Amino acid sequence: MSAAICSRAARAAHVRGRARRNQRNGALVDSAQFKASQAQWRKWYNFLSGSEKWLNIRGHEISGRDMLDWRFLNHGYEPIAADDVAPVLRPEDEAGRSSLQLYHHLATKAPLEGKDVLEVGSGRGGGSWYVARYHRPRRMIGMDLAENAVEFARRAHKAPGLSYQVGDALNLPFADRSFDAVLNVESSHCYDSIDTFASELKRVLRPGGVVLLTDLRPAQDMPELGRTFEAAGFRIASTQDITANVVRAIDRRSQDATNINAFLKSKALLSAWQMLVTEETAETFEGTAEDFFVTPSSKTYRCLVEREILYWTFVMSAPA
């Protein structure tokens, strides 16, 4: 989701207040507060991807070019380990490096070249576009619940074998055994049922097909995500805690004045955005604009730094 880091999940962490549970090591994000309903997320992301609503927010102009550059809806990733090499990007992709590095981190976990690949929760489509061009699958489909996001992706992103369509993660509009691999980037926390999601992935994957999933959760809930997939018959090949990489991405992005996310976090737009959130989605999303965009001064950022929220990557294979 958007190039602002703890975006979806952390935004959800502030749904209907910022409840915390006191435990030995201090406050933890309350699981019940972390999640809005899938229908609410759909409305929210349709709003975000309605470009015409961004062109003039309370008198603050945003150009069409700025909107075109806003291709990603994820928190980003920065390499930290010595053997974690940053990808070589084409010059036109450098503006989205932070978000693209999250896709690079995930897509290099399994060979995708010549494969049939699905991204569930593709947002504004930049991640599927990156995978199609850099990892050369035979077929790359980006699927999202938000119609406006899919419409934007179709207009903005063109590549051989790449297409986008509207669909529900809990009722995938594809035939059995259609794909060799499924990507899921910072999206699963929005789903009403991970059990159903896992079952649908098992159905559309070919035997031995791969699930590449990266997402965030309250710390106490993260292990349950893996257990749910294991119960559905998946084998977990590896897990990786990338919370520190995500925090590093927020830090670096906050210093980049040329990045679209830094532009969106300008003081004028923060004020305008807060008005929109209050008027259009107050019952669901109660966090401040800084929490939404996750600036280093936000409470959401603190939750990541203090590891009340964790960000993990899972590599899993469907039954053979």
Ordered structural domains, the chain, with CATH: 1-320 (3.40.50.150)
Q: What is the pLDDT of residues 176-223, one digit of tens each?
A: 999 999 999 999 988 989 999 999 999 999 999 999 999 999 999 999
Which amino acid is it at 283? E
Integer Cα distance of 186 and 73 in angstroms: 8
Integer Cα distance of 202 and 225 in angstroms: 15
Confidence of residue 169 (pLDDT cuts 50, 70, 90): very high
Residue 11: HSE in the Cβ half-sphere, 13 Å Cα cutoff: 29
- Predicted confidence at residue 270, as pLDDT, reads 57
Considering only 70-74, 93-97, 126-130, 145-149, which range has the smallest mean pLDDT?
A: 70-74
DSSP labels, 54-82: HSEETTEE--HHHHHH----S------ST
Confidence of residue 4 (pLDDT cuts 50, 70, 90): very low
Confidence of residue 50 (pLDDT cuts 50, 70, 90): low
Dihedral sign, CA of 30, 233, 118, 212? Answer: positive
Q: What is the pLDDT of residues 77-117, one digit of tens each?
A: 999 999 999 999 999 899 889 999 999 999 999 999 999 99
Integer Cα distance of 120 and 38 in angstroms: 14
Integer Cα distance of 239 and 166 in angstroms: 29
Integer Cα distance of 212 and 106 in angstroms: 6
Q: What is the pLDDT of residues 224-242, one digit of tens each?
A: 999 999 999 999 999 999 9
DSSP labels, 198-251: HHHHHHHEEEEEEEEEEEEEEGGGHHHHHHHHHHTT-EEEEEEE-HHHHHHHHH
Integer Cα distance of 308 and 300 in angstroms: 9
Which amino acid is it at 1? M
User: Which tops the pLDDT comparison, 53 or 156?
Assistant: 156
Confidence of residue 1 (pLDDT cuts 50, 70, 90): very low
- Given a contact cutoff of 8 angstroms between Cβ atoms, the answer to whether 169 and 121 are in contact is yes
Backbone angles phi, psi at 180, to 5 degrees: -90, -25
Dihedral sign, CA of 294, 300, 304, 305? Answer: positive
- Predicted confidence at residue 296, as pLDDT, reads 81
